[in-house]
Structure 1
Amino acid sequence: MPDILLSASRTSDASVDVIVLDALRAIREHLGMEVAFVSQFHDGRHYFRFVDSSSADPPIAAGDSDPLEESYCQRVVDGRLPELIRDASQLPAALELPATTALPVGAHLSTALRLSNGQIYGTICCFSSKPDPTLGERDLALLHLFASFVSQQIERRLEAEHARQAMVERVSSVLEAEAFSTVYQPIFHLAEGRILGFEALTRFSATPARSPDVWFNEAAEVGLGERLEMAVVTKALAGLEHLPPELFLSLNVSPAHLLSGAVARVLEGMPLGRIVLEVTEHVPIPDYSRFAAVLKPLRSQDLRLAVDDAGAGYASFSHILQLDPDLIKLDTTLTRNIDTDRTRRSLAAALIRFAQETGSRIVAEGVETVAERDTLHRLQVDMAQGYLLGHPLPIAEAVALLP
């Protein structure tokens, strides 16, 4: 079915559904009708998108459809039937429609739902099985008011659907074209000045040009997050065969994809003793016990776990306290100007002391100046990475850094 068609199960904006259903219930109860609904016209059919009824077993349900030409809605919109019908059995044009006797339809009010561009989306309707001679122009005016409000909500929902579909198409295009590459940033042993491993980072070549986190967030929003991340991890792992066996490769992964088993599947057959998985402090882990249980068979094969972004503005240190990481990565915001900022030095020193007590090792990220490097070395930081030490590079250039 075309993307313009709406269904509650497909939209991320569930609040719009609630608003529209509440509006339908309000107008139905005010008019004393049995059924109220919002319909959509498309390709010669009449789709019931939202339905509210006083009955536990209503004659129509959301998702139903019928030929548009056989509907009251179409004939009201094109003027063959009036918007206000007090008794359908007294109207020859209404008796031509099978629904009049099949449902049956007694009283009926209906008006078009128009979008801001003038397009008719469908209708908002109320009907009862019995006639209602008390209905009047004030009731119809109220329905018009509700129609204007509901049209705004429908348009909001359509815009959200189209935006979501655009995201799906962008991310799918990236996946199909593999419009991303891996670069490798060296991680140095500070005391010895030698490379211990590389962190794999992703760069996207697709348009629009955006940072990797935007691509990953968008993929997650439309249900393609796992597929994109596993494609990226798979490509990054290909670089491992070009590195000497004593070097490790560090990969950024989502806790959700670890919990789903997707990461373990991608790592099958890989030398886990050479792999570090990084999880960020910014992404919550709802069940640490389950997370640890999923990681246990991997860590038993010497895979290492790193907690990334330690000391960043919103980091809570929960992962560090709960996961017993092998590596703790000091965030760039903590290492930046650490040589001149006493507060940063104090927090870094506390984390370094914690790591020494728990058997973890510290990796300082974002080292850009000699003064920062030297200060971290004096604080007994084991490892570091950053532009001062080495930029992220394609695998061939990264390997060229090795002695």
Structure 2
Amino acid sequence: MPLSPLSTDDLVLSALHSMRTLVGMEVAFVSQFKKGRRIFRYVEPLDNPVALHVGDSDPLEESYCHRIATGQLPELMHDARLLDATQDIAATLALPVGAHLSVPIRLSDGDVYGEFCCFSRTADPTLDARDVETMRCFADITAKFIDQQAREEQRRDELLSRHTAVLQAQRFSIVYQPIVHLDSGRIVGYEALTRFLDEPVRTPDVWFAEAAEVGLQQALERAVLTKALSQLERLPAPSYLSINASPETVLAGALQQALGDYPLERIVLELTEHTLVHDYPGIVEVLSPLRKRGLRLAVDDAGAGFASFRHIVELHPDIIKLDNSLIRQIDTHQGYRALADALIRFAHQTGSVVIAEGVETQAQRTILKSLQADEAQGYLLGRPAPIDTLV
């Protein structure tokens, strides 16, 4: 199993611990200068002997950090109590402050974020210039971590603002792609697909991934489902409507709310997930009463990876959709053709219907018919289009 990447907090605390241990100090911390205050952002160890806590703050100008950053105090003090310039700082005698080592944290834009600091309540005459240089290295590394975190937070804020605006103004549209019965050539259903209107232009899968990143996945999916289902009655009966939802949205109950009183026998749910689902029993439990009322379940991307095979085994879908990466070479590559053949035979043996996605050539359609695939969709058979052009 791959190791989880360390967070910025973990990395900064590790740097503080390493420096504090190296110089034998009692406490290490990273402070931030903000709006005239010194704020303690990271403290190591948490159970330090001077009871310094993350989130504590004090006036910036009255702090060691500010005076060191502005050159009023030296970066290295063997015993702060012996310096005239520290006598008006309350902490000097209150803690007391003995050995003190601190350097500014400078961000990539040149601004001083705050200070990287270690101190003890006792003096230490052994500290030297090499300790200061070592601390500069740790401070530079910490600055990179903080810079990266700031960029990530800015990106997240921008994503949240963008997706909130899209949701509030419903700045997306639904197009419907025909699904065709291969033998008869008649349209048997339509898949509802989302198109986003905002800049920068990105594919729908990126939009949904970003929504998940900022905690708006369920809200976005629910809004899309509501808009897609609102046109069901306009589709010619008895054709069905295929909608997409993630396992998270299903488990949260948003799907049931969106489906409401719609005729479930005319609806197919495509479970969208490209990685392993961690709660198959939960999904089965949620979908069971809906499937008893006529809702059909489809698993897409079959042939594109292991996850889709696990979905098929665990969820017993009514429909298995062959991924377009498989269909793209089905008429030119024996291996892809053999895999498609095996999936189609497996589906039929387990009572599932097979839909081939991404059919773009007559040769692909001919091969799929010979392999006895049931239905297909793709540019050859019909492009996604607004509902008004279909009815």
- TM-score by length of structure 2 reads 0.92
Post-superposition shift, 1:390?
0.9
Q: 2:228 aligned with 1:228, yes or no?
A: no
Bigger shift: residues 102-111 or 183-192: 102-111
* Corresponding position of 1:49: 41
1:155 shift after superposition:
1.9
- Which residue in 1 is equivalent to 2:53? 61
**Greater shift in the superposed pair: 368-377 or 111-120:** 368-377
Distance 2:33 2:362 in 1: 67
Could you list the per-position Cα deviations for residues 205-234 of structure 1 after superposition, in whole angstroms to 9, with x for gaps in the alignment? 111111111111122222222222222222
1:368–1:126: structure 2 CA closer, same or farther, 3 Å change rule? same
Aligned mate of 1:176, from 131, 155, 168: 168
For residues 98-122 of structure 1, the C-alpha deviation after alignment (integer angstroms, 9 at most, x for no partner) is: 2223333222221111112211010
In the alignment, the residues of structure 1 paired with residue 303 and residue 84 of structure 2 have an alpha-carbon distance, to the nearest angstrom, of: 76
Q: Give the distance between the partners of 2:42 and 2:306, measured in 1 at CA.
A: 41
1:217 to 184, 209, 212: 209
Deviation at 1:44, TM superposition (A): 1.0
Instruction: Decide whether the 8 Å contact of 1:107 with 1:132 is kept in 2.
Output: yes
The one-letter code of the counterpart of 2:173 is S
The 1-side partners of 2:172 and 2:204 are apart by 9
Q: Number of residues paired by the alignment?
A: 388
- For residues 140 and 338 of structure 1, do their structure 2 counterparts lie closer, same or farther at Cα, with a shift above 3 Å needed? closer
Question: Of the candidates 365, 368, 388, which is equivalent to residue 357 of structure 2?
Answer: 365
Comparing 313-322 with 283-292, greater Cα deviation is found at 313-322
**Contact 1:331–1:366 (Cα < 8 Å) also in 2:** yes
Q: Say yes or no: does 1:78 pair with 2:86.
A: no
Question: Which deviates the most, 242-251 or 314-323?
Answer: 314-323
The Cα of 1:245 is off from its aligned counterpart by 4.2
Q: Which position in structure 2 is the counterpart of 1:140?
A: 132
Post-superposition offset of 1:152: 2.3
Structure 1 unmatched runs, 5+: 1-11
Point out the more displaced range, 56-65 or 105-114: 56-65
- Structure 1 partner of 2:15: 23
Q: Which amino acid aligns with 1:15?
A: S
Moved more, 126-135 or 32-41: 126-135
Task: Check the 8 A contact 2:26/2:121 in 1, yes or no.
Answer: yes
Pair 1:190 & 2:182 matched:
yes
Which residue of structure 1 aligns with residue 335 of structure 2? 343
Mapping of 1:160-171 within 5 angstroms? 160-171=152-163
Q: Secondary structure at the match of 2:317?
A: coil
Q: Alpha carbon RMSD of aligned pairs, Å?
A: 2.2
Q: Deviations over 1:12-31 (max 9, x none)?
A: 97433222211111111222
Cα distance, 1:266 vs structure 2: 2.0
Give 1:88 deviation, angstroms. 2.5
Query: Matched residues in 2 for 1:222 and 1:57: separation?
Result: 38
Q: CA deviation at 1:184?
A: 0.1
Contact 1:281 1:317 in 2 (8 A): no
When residues 375 and 53 of structure 1 are mapped into structure 2, their CA distance, relative to the original with a 3 A threshold, is: closer
Letter in 2 for 1:176: Q
**In terms of mean alpha carbon deviation, does 334-343 or 284-293 score higher?**
334-343
- Is the Cα contact below 8 Å between 2:26 and 2:48 reproduced in 1? no
**In percent, how many aligned pairs have the same letter?**
55
CA distance in 2, matches of 1:340, 1:369: 12
